[in-house]
Chain A
Amino acid sequence: MTELKVPSVAESITEVTLSKYLVKDGDYVQLDQPICELETDKASQEIPATIAGVVKFVAKEGEDLKVGAVICNIDESAKKPEETKAAEVKEPKVEKKAEVKKPAETKPVEEQPKTEEKKEETKQSYAANTPSPAAKKILDEGNVAAKDVKATTGVSGRITKEDAINAVRAKANMPQKEAFSRNERMEKMSRLRKTISERLVYSKNSTAMLTTFNEVDMTAINAIRAKYGDTFKKKYEVNLGMMSFFAKACCLALEKFASVNAYIDEGNIVYHDYCDISIAVSTPKGLVVPVIRNAESLSLAGIEKKVKELAIKGRDGLLTMDEMTGGTFTISNGGVFGSLMSTPIINPPQSAILGMHKVQDRAMVIDGKVEVRPMMYVALSYDHRIIDGKESVSFLVAVKDFLENPHKMLLGADPVELLIEL
């Protein structure tokens, strides 16, 4: 009997949640077959079997476990069920394998990973989410994209008529609620949620946080994106978004105002000669803040690519611990959800966070005349313990200046002023 224990996932993590078992109690499992999913405060992880045998559950789904605690036992002395029959069915595969590789002395062992591979293959089939002719018509009419359908009944993930009908019905029923319901639901807080809540309260309680506001006229940035967007997309296969301009502007401003890019560490101030920009990404499980490292040294395309990569990983739950730790400054874009103004909370141990918001056409007074301009409010929340009002406000003004005059971002100042050495 071998015990399967909670491995140490990362240095800072002492407790995990057993979110779900991937096998049934009493199943015969293969070596390296995923047994369960553990959720840590930042990511979830599959735990593979350390030996082949029959599993006997010890911990329950949903239970919090300390590192080192026993998840389940694996009885390696148990016989593999229906071994002969299974081998018979897979014979042609084994034969083929044997032809390519060395003779089949280790037959059963060789065969096992093959079975696994096979399962993976069917899951990732080229035909996944292919709707049948009738299903396609139903989806088109229901305005549901094939890729958004949960294909549960078709072979290799194909969308059957039944799947399509269910998908369209689900879409139609979505907002329906029982009238006058007084129902309440209790759900266990996920690891991630718990961590988020602890860190946010910690941040509020342990810093002297306040927020300064400004607004940015987005005319220049919009013009650049309109003019070069297509060419940029063709060349770099990523959209020229706003995030790259904001990250770049922040990096340049952070270089001018070093305290905004610094930490307090027990009576010391740690300054950073680099800018690791954390970007807040909302995922199905909650907010995560992956990091763009050395953003100051990246091109706009480099930043956009990184943002896209991190956002996709975040959405798919594939961000590693490494990708989510560190960071010297954070940018959070509440504008994507429509926020006009907000006071973001610092991501400790960092000292400041920039909040981006929705761009809205507003009447502005320009040279004594009223003009319509695309405007965005920006907010900088900062830790007053190390950043003075003058610095924080000047930082935000500098960011605004770079964004309204993007040519200054090239050399960190107005090129003409540099030329005539003003």
Chain B
Amino acid sequence: MSNYNVVVIGSGPGGYVAAIRCAQLGMKVAIVEKYSVLGGTCTNVGCIPSKALLDSSEHYHNAESVFAGHGIGTTRLSFDFGKMIARKAGVVKSNNDGIAYLMKKNKIDVYTGLGSFVTKNKIAITNDKGEKQEIETEKVIIATGSKPTKLPFIAVDKKRVITSTEALTLTEVPEHLIIIGGGVIGLELGSVYKRLGAKVTVVEFLDKIVATMDEDISKEMLRILRKDGIEFMLSHKVTGAVVQGNEVTVSAENKNGEKVEVKGDYCLVAVGRVPYTDGLALENANLKADEKGRINVDQYLETNVPGIYAIGDVVRGAMLAHKAEEEGAFVAETIAGQKPHINYNMIPGVCYTWPEAASVGATEADLKKNGTAYKTGKFPFRALGRARASGDLDGFVKVLASKETDEILGVHIVGARAADLIIEGVVALEYRASAEDISRMSHPHPTYTEAFKEACLIATDNRALNM
């Protein structure tokens, strides 16, 4: 007899949402988490702590550089980095507690320890004292997430050569932080320390940053972040990082094959993340993973073993918390016999620098590749009353629409509050709105959302009202 209808392994946004949804649908559920706190990467060493530090550093930066323009004077401005880190820890803790409360409220049993397959219906849980217990279940949802990618030629000592996890708990602001990788995580953490006074150098292999986003976003972000003082070494292939005392020397090769060296006191390796399945003992359940270590799943997120599902960073698709959450709910409902649906093309991507960047749907490069005839509406925030009032003038909203039908195919935003603005693009895409549809909807004045409407007016008929 099974103890549980469903056991979820991993308590990140994928796992804990799956567990709650299963419980809501009347199943008896357990969740297994290796660490003593719930919430996974996202809550403990990802989305939440990084945003806490981004917000703290942003306040300081504004006080230092923006307030004066608004007529606000400051004398002897300072910050206490230790307090910032402690505040961040408090934010994380309150999220941990929130999730623990939700588990209790939904009558979900929480097991602390490493979960591994004994058979496809039996999970062993080993805690850090080495004690082991086994539970039986009808179905399993694997939500074990991801860990930072390692480069074979760089030894991460977690003191001077660090990953995002350590970068969120430093005890001092680096003098010169060298970041390997110009992706979202690198740029967010780079922004934090740049604002707090560090020199920041980003070394990127490609000739652009945030490479998965639309080309125009890459360009605009590079322009703005350079203006803010972050240094970029694009088209540089990192070949090593050597620690000597308090100094890290990162060596790289430039486009012409010449050797270059940068010296700093910290080096953050932020070159992406890989699926995490260590200790799961996949083989005991005959589970298969692909060459990148992602657990193979079908369109229902079911693995090659019937009754075992996998979601979030450990399967194919964007490594994003909200994608993991959608999948968690999807699998729970699928197990309950419902027929939910996820439109992967409509999962937004966001970069929480200032200004923010956010994207949903097709990029211009996608449309070109598919040979789709499209039109573009691009409206700069600088032309908006709201942006002038706040002083956040950088960025734009770019709308890509079908040339034939006017249907919106992609939305790309750089600018203040882009992360929140993008949702209008998601709704538009889900309902297959045309650019004209959006331009005929009232947008409150004065707000940043007006840029969306104006971009749609341009896409429809090239008839922006405020440009």
Binding site for B on A (CB under 8 A): 92, 96, 125-127, 130, 132-133, 136-137, 140-141, 155-156, 158
A–B Cβ pairs within 8 angstroms, 17 of them: A92-B463, A125-B405, A126-B402, A126-B405, A126-B407, A127-B407, A127-B432, A127-B433, A127-B434, A130-B431, A133-B343, A136-B341, A137-B338, A137-B341, A141-B339, A155-B437, A156-B437
Cβ contact within 8 Å between A96 and B461: yes
State whether the Cβ of B340 lies closer than 8 Å to any Cβ in chain A. Answer: yes
Instruction: Please give the distance in Å from B59's CB to the nearest CB on chain A.
Output: 37
Instruction: Please give the distance in Å from A175's CB to the nearest CB on chain B.
Output: 23
State whether the Cβ of B430 lies closer than 8 Å to any Cβ in chain A. Answer: yes
For the A-B complex with A96-B461, A158-B432 known, give 16 more contacts whose Cβ atoms are closer than 8 Å. A92-B461, A92-B463, A126-B402, A126-B404, A126-B405, A126-B432, A127-B407, A127-B432, A127-B433, A127-B434, A132-B431, A137-B338, A137-B339, A140-B341, A141-B338, A158-B431
A156 to chain B: which residues have CB within 8 Å?
Answer: 437
CA distance A133 to B431 in the complex (A): 8
Cβ contact within 8 Å between A130 and B432: yes
A137 to chain B: which residues have CB within 8 Å?
Answer: 338-341
Instruction: Please give the distance in Å from B335's CB to the nearest CB on chain A.
Output: 14
A140 to chain B: which residues have CB within 8 Å?
Answer: 339, 341
Instruction: Please give the distance in Å from A146's CB to the nearest CB on chain B.
Output: 12
CA distance A133 to B404 in the complex (A): 24
B405 to chain A: which residues have CB within 8 Å?
Answer: 125-126
Give the 7 A-B CB pairs with smallest separation, nearest first: A140-B339, A126-B405, A127-B432, A141-B339, A130-B432, A136-B341, A133-B430
Instruction: Please give the distance in Å from A117's CB to the nearest CB on chain B.
Output: 14
Which of under 10, 10 to 19, 20 to 34, or 35 or more describes the interface residues of B? 10 to 19
A136 to chain B: which residues have CB within 8 Å?
Answer: 341
A127 to chain B: which residues have CB within 8 Å?
Answer: 407, 431-434
Binding site for A on B (CB under 8 A): 338-341, 343, 402, 404-405, 407, 430-434, 437, 461, 463
Residue in chain B with minimal CB distance to A141: B339
B432 to chain A: which residues have CB within 8 Å?
Answer: 126-127, 130, 158
Instruction: Please give the distance in Å from B448's CB to the nearest CB on chain A.
Output: 25
Instruction: Please give the distance in Å from B344's CB to the nearest CB on chain A.
Output: 13
CA distance A127 to B433 in the complex (A): 8
A130 to chain B: which residues have CB within 8 Å?
Answer: 431-432
Residue in chain A with minimal CB distance to B341: A136
A126 to chain B: which residues have CB within 8 Å?
Answer: 402, 404-405, 407, 432
Instruction: Please give the distance in Å from A221's CB to the nearest CB on chain B.
Output: 37
B437 to chain A: which residues have CB within 8 Å?
Answer: 155-156
B343 to chain A: which residues have CB within 8 Å?
Answer: 133
CA distance A155 to B338 in the complex (A): 27
CA distance A14 to B381 in the complex (A): 68
Instruction: Please give the distance in Å from A94's CB to the nearest CB on chain B.
Output: 13
- Highest count of chain B CB atoms <10 Å: which of A92, A96, A130: A130
Instruction: Please give the distance in Å from A63's CB to the nearest CB on chain B.
Output: 41
CA distance A125 to B433 in the complex (A): 10
CA distance A92 to B461 in the complex (A): 10
CA distance A101 to B8 in the complex (A): 66
Residue in chain A with minimal CB distance to B463: A92
CA distance A158 to B433 in the complex (A): 10
Instruction: Please give the distance in Å from B220's CB to the nearest CB on chain A.
Output: 30
CA distance A140 to B407 in the complex (A): 24
B463 to chain A: which residues have CB within 8 Å?
Answer: 92
Residue in chain B with minimal CB distance to A128: B432
Instruction: Please give the distance in Å from A155's CB to the nearest CB on chain B.
Output: 7
CA distance A377 to B431 in the complex (A): 51
CA distance A296 to B407 in the complex (A): 47
- Highest count of chain A CB atoms <10 Å: which of B402, B405, B432: B432
Residue in chain B with minimal CB distance to A130: B432
Instruction: Please give the distance in Å from A121's CB to the nearest CB on chain B.
Output: 10
Cβ contact within 8 Å between A133 and B338: no
CA distance A125 to B407 in the complex (A): 10
CA distance A158 to B340 in the complex (A): 19
CA distance A96 to B437 in the complex (A): 19
Residue in chain B with minimal CB distance to A96: B461
CA distance A156 to B338 in the complex (A): 28
Residue in chain B with minimal CB distance to A154: B431
CA distance A133 to B432 in the complex (A): 11
Instruction: Please give the distance in Å from B353's CB to the nearest CB on chain A.
Output: 30
Instruction: Please give the distance in Å from A133's CB to the nearest CB on chain B.
Output: 6
Residue in chain A with minimal CB distance to B407: A126
Residue in chain B with minimal CB distance to A95: B463
Residue in chain B with minimal CB distance to A142: B339
CA distance A71 to B434 in the complex (A): 40
Cβ contact within 8 Å between A132 and B430: yes
B341 to chain A: which residues have CB within 8 Å?
Answer: 133, 136-137, 140
CA distance A156 to B343 in the complex (A): 21
B461 to chain A: which residues have CB within 8 Å?
Answer: 92, 96
Residue in chain B with minimal CB distance to A127: B432
Instruction: Please give the distance in Å from B453's CB to the nearest CB on chain A.
Output: 15
Instruction: Please give the distance in Å from B72's CB to the nearest CB on chain A.
Output: 44
Residue in chain A with minimal CB distance to B402: A126
CA distance A126 to B339 in the complex (A): 25
CA distance A130 to B429 in the complex (A): 11
CA distance A155 to B437 in the complex (A): 9
CA distance A330 to B341 in the complex (A): 48
CA distance A180 to B245 in the complex (A): 95
CA distance A136 to B432 in the complex (A): 13
Instruction: Please give the distance in Å from B372's CB to the nearest CB on chain A.
Output: 13
CA distance A27 to B140 in the complex (A): 65
CA distance A137 to B326 in the complex (A): 14
Instruction: Please give the distance in Å from A144's CB to the nearest CB on chain B.
Output: 11
B404 to chain A: which residues have CB within 8 Å?
Answer: 126
CA distance A158 to B339 in the complex (A): 20
Residue in chain A with minimal CB distance to B432: A127
CA distance A288 to B437 in the complex (A): 42
CA distance A137 to B333 in the complex (A): 11
B430 to chain A: which residues have CB within 8 Å?
Answer: 132-133
CA distance A96 to B463 in the complex (A): 11
Residue in chain B with minimal CB distance to A138: B339
A96 to chain B: which residues have CB within 8 Å?
Answer: 461
Instruction: Please give the distance in Å from B329's CB to the nearest CB on chain A.
Output: 11
B433 to chain A: which residues have CB within 8 Å?
Answer: 127
CA distance A418 to B337 in the complex (A): 63
CA distance A386 to B431 in the complex (A): 64
Instruction: Please give the distance in Å from B304's CB to the nearest CB on chain A.
Output: 24
CA distance A155 to B440 in the complex (A): 12
CA distance A158 to B432 in the complex (A): 9
- Highest count of chain A CB atoms <10 Å: which of B341, B404, B463: B341
Instruction: Please give the distance in Å from B277's CB to the nearest CB on chain A.
Output: 31
CA distance A126 to B463 in the complex (A): 23
Residue in chain B with minimal CB distance to A136: B341
Instruction: Please give the distance in Å from B30's CB to the nearest CB on chain A.
Output: 27
CA distance A137 to B430 in the complex (A): 13
B339 to chain A: which residues have CB within 8 Å?
Answer: 137, 140-141
CA distance A130 to B407 in the complex (A): 12
CA distance A368 to B434 in the complex (A): 70
CA distance A125 to B405 in the complex (A): 8
